[in-house]
Amino acid sequence: MIELQLSLKRVPTLLVLCFFLLLGNFHKADARIRHYKWEVKYEFKSPDCYKKLVITINGQTPGPTIQAQEGDTVIVEVNNSLETENLAIHWHGIRQIGTPWFDGTEGVTQCPILPGDTFKYEFVVDRPGTYLYHAHYGMQREAGLYGLIRVAPNDPEPFAYDLDRSIILNDWYHQNTYEQGAGLSSIPFQWVGEPQSLLIHGKGRFNCSSSPSLSTAICNTSNPECSPFVQTVIPGKTYRFRVGSLTALSALSFQIEGHNMTVVEADGHYVEPFVVKNLFIYSGETYSVLVKTDQDPKRNYWITSNVVGRNRTTPPGLGIFNYYPNHPKRSPPTVPPSPPAWDDVESRLAQSLAIKARQGYIHKPPTTSDRVIVLLNTQNTINGYRHWSVNNVSFSLPNTPYLVALKENIPNAFDPISPPDGYDFVNYDIFNVANNTNATSSNGIYRLKFNTTVDIVLQNANTMNKNNSETHPWHLHGHDFWVLGYGKGKFDMKNDPKKYNLENPIMKNTVAVHPFGWTTLRFRSDNPGVWAFHCHIESHFYMGMGVVFEEGIDRVGNLPSSIMGCGQTKDFHRP
Amino acid sequence: MIELQLSLKRVPTLLVLCFFLLLGNFHKADARIRHYKWEVKYEFKSPDCYKKLVITINGQTPGPTIQAQEGDTVIVEVNNSLETENLAIHWHGIRQIGTPWFDGTEGVTQCPILPGDTFKYEFVVDRPGTYLYHAHYGMQREAGLYGLIRVAPNDPEPFAYDLDRSIILNDWYHQNTYEQGAGLSSIPFQWVGEPQSLLIHGKGRFNCSSSPSLSTAICNTSNPECSPFVQTVIPGKTYRFRVGSLTALSALSFQIEGHNMTVVEADGHYVEPFVVKNLFIYSGETYSVLVKTDQDPKRNYWITSNVVGRNRTTPPGLGIFNYYPNHPKRSPPTVPPSPPAWDDVESRLAQSLAIKARQGYIHKPPTTSDRVIVLLNTQNTINGYRHWSVNNVSFSLPNTPYLVALKENIPNAFDPISPPDGYDFVNYDIFNVANNTNATSSNGIYRLKFNTTVDIVLQNANTMNKNNSETHPWHLHGHDFWVLGYGKGKFDMKNDPKKYNLENPIMKNTVAVHPFGWTTLRFRSDNPGVWAFHCHIESHFYMGMGVVFEEGIDRVGNLPSSIMGCGQTKDFHRP
């Protein structure tokens, strides 16, 4: 490392960049340890020109990108320097095979990390691809604790590119997460509304002059922290862009003006290539797209991010696709491309359907399943509070993490009654506002028989507002699943399974269920542990839109004591 | 209790009130248990008409008043319903004899209470008087977690009154505590400035129209939550007002227009009565004053609270002293009385000197001390960060609470080197900005020999601004101390002790050191435990203005495991 740093001083910048890129693709047989030390704290930042308190990792939001090679062990020592607030970090898309205790899901797999403490996450990145990390505690993710994980493959990839770049997308609120949480937990319900801005790789732009009362100390568009994101490219090359979304709420349409994108990877799995003008991406998803820099090199182009799926009021996120050697701050001569209509569900459904496993890289799913769980997604009112529910059960986290409670047989840690495997298929009208007066709140979980095949049908429905059904990206911890199918309306248990794609379904860890539609996924309960499965919209999970699966708990190894210390694990002594 | 509730329905309100008041003074021989169950959470409140997130206890800020009888056991079961934030509550003025682990000082006597957990505080209120409680973790007190404790005496009191009322004073910021803390921990240092308003018993009034951009949803002076505090009084009576201050920053002058106040109690000790027009009160202090409702009963009068000791920009806190049966909302016909000049140190020093123990209730101090510790209070810069220091050591809390570390012999939990017992008396110029380049940060503590007499001389000095020295109210946990003397300028080790009041010094738990002055206090190290002693200004302690005393650790009983769970006590198993 010292030699490297010394040499850098003598090498022109562009060459250095190429060197690093080559390094990233370097074929390496021996697994290594990638050691990170992170300090997490609150700092004032102005990602969209509006100054607010954010959670940073080593002074940054988004946090540093973790770079590793397939098979490497990643160690992240997280020092919690928040003053009074705890912490947990989830490694989104990493299956944590053999280390379910390091999944980083507060209340499910671990106790939170206390202020002043250093927690050591240690796990193997067993598959190549593009993954994410983010806080998984309360609504902390929204405060800025998020980033990317890039895992380079040991084997050659089935597509070629010259350069490899990452772009992480987000939406951004000016209200802090405490305020948002208190609003969601209030009677009457107080909803924060649409985000103030969209961030492209941590940079957005709020129109400060829209609130003339804001002083430049609070909102200043000339603050370099909110200079637009610039992606400098060399003409005539093929770029791989790894695009991830960790929005709190928004489904996005991502676009590079005048450039087609060829989708080649989704959530770490190779995709049978298809070309799009705009990439629809939901919170928790990652994609790799190949982009050729084959357009007029005398100008720059817009990079845009736009809300879809909700009647957007948030202005587009804008970045600059900078053809070298044009000046990176030179605005493109055109207006940014228009986004698709926000309510064009068909286009989004079409893109979902287009994502299939790449020939030669197909993992065939089991042809039948041992258990089918249908999960109805609804909005409810319980005791006057607004909730989201799954089969009329609104999920709440217990005080003692499930993993410890189950592995160590701690009694009464959670409701022993499992939520139902379905809902009233016959009578429930998914197209209308329902009077779900029987909805309840529970921390009961699903117990899956180990090494079985499970089908999950996510059934969308009308919210508590007339003619409204939202898009929900569901994320499964500890697994990749096969996406067997999407459909409109109410899932037909008899006929719809016949249309499942069992030939070349993509494997993913996050998938959208579209408005008034359904999505079926299949997975093997082959990873001993306790795993959350939930809507990746921060407020939706907060309001109960999730479930938890246990599988093979008896096969889980000895739990590290570092994950304990809360609830009934506070005084826990292993017998 | 059930009988009482039933009967209440049939009794007119005023009678009921009188009944309760009598009950409060009722002579009771048998110690009882006073059981409270508190839910602590974030809620939106508008104490000064400006809506912000506050920490409430059972929906209230200030929290419920704890009422008990001398010798009672108070049990408070605190349920932490903050989502991601921990908690600790200090019982300010309660000595915790035999229960040092329930002092509620995070990092000193306990680990913080985790979200979802219920922590049971249990302690004896061994002395009658007026006390306080508040969060003692980070800067949580400022978020609204505070209240009063009233302990009725077993023996007759040396003064008579008809009615007994409480008023708690505070200052109020619109910036949240995270923002304030992040500002204090930033380079450059960002200071929140003077408070936006002063609260009288939780009610203040911010001038919403001073910021025309504030919508009425955020700031609304017609919000009933910020209707002025009203103290209804019956003409011709003598009232006891228990006045406590838990300001974040401000020293206050409290006044009831046209009414003299006779000071009779300070921090739970009877005061040789003296009459004031305005009561100076510092954060952490309590006083009882007797007030005769002997003025023109045809009108109302102002209750005022004003900042002193700082060049005030905060408008006065205003309440209504409502002579029954005038309408409680009827404004007094006069303008509120003018407060004393903010920089009139003489008047404040004079009132400090006037507070002496009441004849017949004097606890004589030991005539000599075994150890004298002089504590120089200065502002410093350490590694570019602004701090407050004591003898050039800026205090920082350790990750493992001292009480557990010391009692259980946990190694390396804190710096074993004690801070010095004095400073460079000869060369340090307290009247000028000092270049304290040798200031350091440490979590070392003072170890006191058990059952000895300790003198503390608090020496004030110039801050980092020219011609500026602030007022610091120092609060000692676990003890009452004798206030032996106050002086101006640099303490003279030879001559000043000769002027100490050893005849009738008041005992207190909080005492001010005035600008460019000194204050000496004496206490017996007779309460086994580990005790914080610190400036009660929230930001000053946060920035290092405190010390910790250990005494008789070997006499401390078995620690409850409920106080453990953080730092090195996380996996702690008693050997």
Tell me the percentage of chain B whose pLDDT exceeds 90: 91
For residues B471 and B309, the answer to whether their CB atoms sit within 8 Å is: yes
Q: What is the ipTM of this complex?
A: 0.91
Interior angle at CA B113, CA B112 and CA B114, nearest 5: 110
**Contacts (Cβ under 8 Å, ≥6 apart) of B113:** B78, B80, B86, B87, B88, B119
Name the token pair of B328. 């409680």
Is residue A347 located within the same domain as residue A402? no
Residues B336 and B479 in one domain: no
For residue A554, the SS3 value is: helix
Q: Contact, A149 vs A156, CB < 8 A? A: no
pLDDT digits (tens, 9 = 90+) for A153-173: 999 999 999 999 999 999 999
B77 touches chain A (CB under 8 A): no
- Claim to verify: residue B547 and residue B436 sit in the same structural domain: yes
Q: Is B566 on the interface with A (CB under 8 A)?
A: yes
User: Inter-chain contact A212–B213, Cβ cutoff 8 Å?
Assistant: yes
A111 within a domain of the structure (yes/no): no
The Cα B428–Cα B299 span in angstroms is 55
| Residues of A in Cβ contact (< 8 Å) with B44 | 179, 182-183, 186, 190
pLDDT at position A343: 96
DSSP state letter for A65:
P
Report how far apart, in Å, the C-alpha atoms of B317 and of each of B134, B253, B329 are: 21, 10, 16
Q: Which residue, among B61, B81, B83, B218, would best test binding to A if mutated, counting the most A CBs under 10 Å from its CB?
A: B83
pLDDT (mean) for A497-507:
98
B333 plus B377 within the same structural domain? no
User: How sure is the predictor about A211, in pLDDT bands with cuts at 50, 70 and 90?
Assistant: confident
Sort out which chain A residues have CB atoms less than 8 A from B176's CB and list them. 176, 178
| Confidence class for position B213, pLDDT limits 50, 70, 90 | confident
B57, B63 contact by CB (below 8 A):
yes
Query: How distant, in Å, are the alpha carbons of B404, B436, B518 from that of B490?
Result: 38, 17, 7
Q: A181: distance to nearest CA of chain B, Å?
A: 8
Classify strands B286-292 and B278-281 as parallel, antiparallel or unpaired.
Answer: unpaired
Q: Which residues of B are less than 8 Å from A53 in CB distance? A: 178-179, 182
Sign of the CA dihedral with B13 first, then B14, B18, and B21 last: positive
Structure token digits, residue A539: 């407020």
The DSSP result for B497-519, as a single string, is GGG---SSBPEESEEEE-TTEEE
**CA–CA distance from A84 to each of B101, B202, B399, B477 (Å)?**
20, 24, 12, 21
Where does the pLDDT of residue A10 fall: very low under 50, low under 70, confident under 90, or very high at 90 and above?
very low
- Which residue of A52, A79, A81, A83 to mutate against B (max B Cβ within 10 Å)? A83
Is the domain of B318 the same as that of B431? no
User: Does residue A17 surpass a pLDDT of 70?
Assistant: no
Kindly report the backbone phi and psi dihedral angles of residue B351, in degrees, each rounded to the nearest multiple of 5, phi listed first: -70, -40
B49 CB-near residues (< 8 Å, 6+ apart): B204, B205, B206, B208, B219, B220, B221, B223, B225, B226
- A200 close to A555: Cβ distance less than 8 angstroms: no
B141 is a domain residue: yes
**Count of C-beta atoms within a 10 Å radius of residue A570:** 19
Three-class DSSP category at B266: strand
CA distance A527 to A380: 33
Residue B6 domain-assigned? no
Domain boundary among B354, B384, B405: B354
Last residue of a domain, one of A292, A320, A354: A354
Q: Could you write out the DSSP letters of every residue in A492-553?
A: -TTTGGGG---SSBPEESEEEE-TTEEEEEEEE--S-EEEEEEE-SHHHHHTT-EEEEEE-G
Give the closest of A86, A182, A567 to B86, CB-based. Answer: A86
Q: Please give the tally of structural domains in chain A.
A: 2
Average pLDDT over residues A199-223: 92
Cα of B316 vs its chain's centroid, Å: 20
8 Å CB contact between A55 and A144:
yes
Q: Does B315 touch chain A (CB under 8 A)?
A: no
Same domain, B330 and B380: no
Residue in chain B closest to A565 (alpha carbons) equals B565
- The answer, for A544 touching chain B at a CB cutoff of 8 Å, is no
Looking at the structure, do residues A12 and A155 belong to the same domain, yes or no? Answer: yes
Residues comprising chain B, all counted? 575
Mean pLDDT of all residues in A242-256 = 98
B49 within a domain of the structure (yes/no): yes
Whether pLDDT at B13 is above 70? no
| Helix, strand, or coil (residue B141) | helix
CA distances from A151 to A24, A94, A108 (A): 9, 10, 25
Separation of alpha carbons B86 and B107, rounded Å: 12
The upper half-sphere exposure of residue B342, i.e. CA atoms within 13 Å in the direction of its Cβ, equals 14
Which pLDDT tens digit goes with each residue over A445-469?
A: 999 999 999 999 999 999 999 999 9
- Does the pLDDT value for residue B20 go beyond 60? no
Region B22-33: mean pLDDT is 61
Of A304, A326, A354, the residue that ends a domain is A354
- CA quadruple B142, B147, B153, B154: dihedral positive or negative? negative
- What is d(CA A140, CA A120) in angstroms, rounded to the nearest whole number? 19
Q: Give me the residue label for tokens 């999950």.
A: A456
B255: helix, strand or coil: strand
On chain A, the residues whose CB falls within 8 A of the CB of B213 are 211-214
Residue numbers in A near B140 (CB within 8 A): 84
* pLDDT of residue B259 exceeding 80: yes
Q: Predicted confidence band at B475 (pLDDT cuts at 50, 70, 90)?
A: very high
Residue B325 within any structural domain of the chain: yes
Q: Taking 80 as the threshold, does the pLDDT of residue B327 lie above it?
A: yes
Mean pLDDT of all residues belonging to chain B: 94
Q: Are residues B123 and B260 in the same domain?
A: yes
Q: What SS3 state is found at B43?
A: strand
Question: What pLDDT does A213 receive?
Answer: 79
Write the CB contacts of B38 (distance below 8 Å, at least 6 apart in sequence): B57, B58, B63, B64, B76, B77, B78, B79
The answer to whether A461 and A377 are in contact (CB under 8 A) is yes
- Counting one residue from chain A and one from chain B, the pairs whose CB atoms sit within 8 A come to 108
Which of A43, A114, A176 faces B566 most closely, judged by CB atoms? Answer: A114
pLDDT, tens digit, 9 for 90 and up, residues B172-190 = 999 999 999 999 999 999 9
User: Do residues A89 and A136 make contact, with C-beta atoms less than 8 angstroms apart?
Assistant: yes
Are residues B116 and A140, on separate chains, in Cβ contact within 8 Å?
A: no
**Nearest C-alpha in B relative to A83:** B138
* A344 and A381 co-located in one domain: no
Query: Is A267 contained in some domain?
Result: yes
Query: What local confidence, expressed as pLDDT, does residue A29 receive?
Result: 56
Q: How confident is the model at residue A51 (pLDDT cuts 50, 70, 90)?
A: very high
As a whole number of angstroms, the distance between CA B243 and CA B221 comes to 26
Check residue B61 and report its DSSP letter: S
Q: Which amino acid is at A171?
A: D
Closest residue by Cα to residue A369 from A485, A271, A515, A534: A485
SS3 assignment, position A178: helix
d(CA A388, CA B312): 49
CA distance readout (Å), B179 to A42, A516, B184, B189 = 8, 42, 9, 12
C-alpha A65/C-alpha B464 separation (Å) is 41
Mean pLDDT for A271-295 is 98
Question: Which residues of B fall within a CB distance of 8 Å from A115?
Answer: 86, 112
Residues of B in contact with A566 (CB under 8 A): 114, 116-117, 565
B407 belongs to a structural domain: yes
CATH number at residue B515: 2.60.40.420
Q: Kindly report the CA angle at A224 between A222 and A226, in degrees rounded to 5?
A: 85
Write the pLDDT tens digit of every residue in A89-141.
999 999 999 999 999 999 999 999 999 999 999 999 999 999 999 999 999 99
- What's residue B31's pLDDT? 83
Asked if B379 and B294 sit in the same domain, the reply is no
pLDDT at B68: 98
Residues B145 and B61 sit within 8 Å (Cβ to Cβ): yes
**Could you tell me the pLDDT band of residue A405, with boundaries at 50, 70 and 90?**
very high
Query: Does a structural domain hold residue A166?
Result: yes
- Over residues B281-299, the mean pLDDT reads 98
Structure tokens at B242: 């228990």
- Phi, psi (rounded to 5 degrees) for A537: -75, 125
pLDDT attached to residue A4: 36
Q: Which of B24-38, B246-260, B398-412 has the lowest mean pLDDT?
A: B24-38
Residue A21 has pLDDT above 70, yes or no: no
A contacts of B214 (beta carbons < 8 Å)? 213
Please, which pLDDT band fits residue B29 given cuts at 50, 70 and 90? low
Q: Which residue has tokens 């017996």?
A: B524
Average pLDDT, chain A: 94
Chain B contact for A81 (CB, 8 A cutoff) = no
Residue B49 is part of which domain span? Answer: 18-354
Helix (H, G, I), strand (E, B) or coil at B32: coil
pLDDT at B398 over 90: yes
pLDDT band at B19 (very low <50, low <70, confident <90, very high): very low
A329 and A209 in a common domain? yes
User: Are B383 and B465 a contacting pair, CB within 8 Å?
Assistant: no
Q: Which residue of B has its CA nearest to A52?
A: B179
Beta strands in B18-65 (DSSP E): 33-45, 52-57
Residues linked to residue B289 through DSSP beta bridges, in sequence order: B241, B263
Radius of gyration of chain A (CA): 23
- B133 & B63 share domain: yes
Q: List Cα–Cα distances, A420 to A113, A373, A426, A461, in angstroms.
A: 33, 8, 15, 17
SS3 (DSSP) at B102: helix
| Omega within 30 of 0 (cis) for the link into B235 | no
pLDDT band at B574 (very low <50, low <70, confident <90, very high): low
The candidate with the shortest Cα–Cα distance to B461, out of B345, B537, B377, B521, is B377
CB A405 within 8 A of CB A374: no
